[in-house]
Amino acid sequence: MLSQFCLRLSCGLALALLVTSPSHVASGFFRVQLLVVLALTVLAGLGYSGDAGGTALGLSLVILSAVASFAGSVAWSLERQRFAQAIVALLAGMTAIAAVLAQRAPEVASVPRALGWLDPLAGALVLGTTLTAMLLGHWYLVTPTMSLAPLRRLVGLMGAALLLRALLAAIGASVLVAAPAPSNGFARSLWVWGGLRLFAGFIGAGVVVFLAWQTVKIRSTQSATGILYVGVIVVFLGEIAAQVLYRRVGLPL
C-alpha cells in the first residue's frame, strides 16, 4: 500500500507541475519538487514487488521514473525549461501506468476494470494538487511579489480533483450497495474507515478548498499556506482510508 501511495503522490506532483507556469514560478520550485518525486519513487521502488505485487514492467517504470526525476531536476537547474517540462510529462505518464499496474483488487470482489484504472489517477490528482499548492505557498513567503495565478489555479484544480474523486466514490458506493456484503469480517470496521474517508477525505478537504480559495482571493498567502497544511493532512488520511477500503471491497470509495 505504501508503494501505491507514493506512486500516486509522485504522479500527482508531476501533473501539478505541468499546469504550473514557469514564467510565474522560479525554476528552483520545480527543481525541489522533482527531488521530492525522486525520493518518493525510490521509496515506491523499494517496496513495489512485495507491497503492491507489481509486475516487472511496473517496477521498470518506477526505476525509470526515479531516473527521470533526477534528470528533470538537473534540467531545471540548467534552466532548460522545455526539456525539463518534457521530462515531467514523461514522468507523469510512467508513474501513472506504474500505479495502475500496481492496483490490486481483492479476491472477495469483482471490480469493473474502468473503475480500477481511474481510482489511482483520481487519487493522484487530489494528492498532487494539494501538496503542490501547500509547497508553492511557501514560496510566497520569500517571493511575496510572485503572481497569485499559479496558487489560484492549483487550489481550483484541487477542488475539481476532489469533485472527480467524489463522483468516482459515489459510483463505487452504489455498486457496493448493490453487491453482497463482504464476508471477510471487514464489514464491522467498514464504518470506521468509511467515516474517516468521508469526514477527512471529502468534507474536511472540501472545507479546506473553500477556505484556501477565499484567502487567496484577498491575497493572504500566509493564511492560505497554513490552511493547505491542514489540507495535506486530511487529504492524506482520506486517501489512505480509500486505499484500505479498495483493498478490502475492491471498489473506489
DSSP 175-219: HHHHSPPPSSSTHHHHHHHHHHIIIIIIIIHHHHHHHHHHHHHTT
Residue 95 to residue 12: CA distance in whole angstroms: 9
pLDDT tens-digit readout, 85-123: 999 999 999 999 998 888 765 544 455 667 778 889 999
Three cell numbers, residue 226? 497554513
Domain count of the fold of the chain: 2
> Which parts of the chain have pLDDT scores under 50?
52-53, 107-109
**How confident is the model at residue 68, as a pLDDT?**
95
Q: Is residue 188 located within the same domain as residue 247?
A: yes
Residue 94 has a pLDDT of 94
CA distance 241 to 238: 5
Query: Are 147 and 175 in the same domain?
Result: yes
Domain coverage including residue 166: 113-253
Q: How is residue 108 annotated by DSSP?
A: T
**Residue 121's closest CA among 133, 136, 103?**
103
Specify the pLDDT at position 112: 63
Q: Are residues 84 and 150 in the same domain?
A: no
Give 41-66 pLDDT, tens digit per residue.
999 888 776 554 457 788 889 999 99
Residues 142 and 95 in one domain: no
What pLDDT score does 110 carry?
Answer: 56
Q: In this predicted structure, what is the pLDDT of residue 171?
A: 87
Alpha helices for the chain (secondary structure H):
2-18, 27-47, 56-77, 81-102, 113-142, 149-178, 187-196, 205-217, 221-249
Chain centroid, CA 24 distance in Å: 23
Q: What is the pLDDT of residue 27?
A: 86
88 and 149: one domain? no
Predicted structure pTM score: 0.90
Query: In terms of domains, do 188 and 164 share one?
Result: yes
Give the burial string for 52-80 (b: 16+ CB within 10 Å, else e).
Answer: bebeeebbebbbbbbebbbbbbebbeeee
Quick one: pLDDT at residue 52?
46
Among 217, 212, 219, 250, CA closest to 132: 212
Kindly list the distances between the CA atom of residue 81 and the CA atoms of 4, 67, 75, 154, 238, in Å, as whole numbers in the listed order: 29, 18, 7, 20, 34
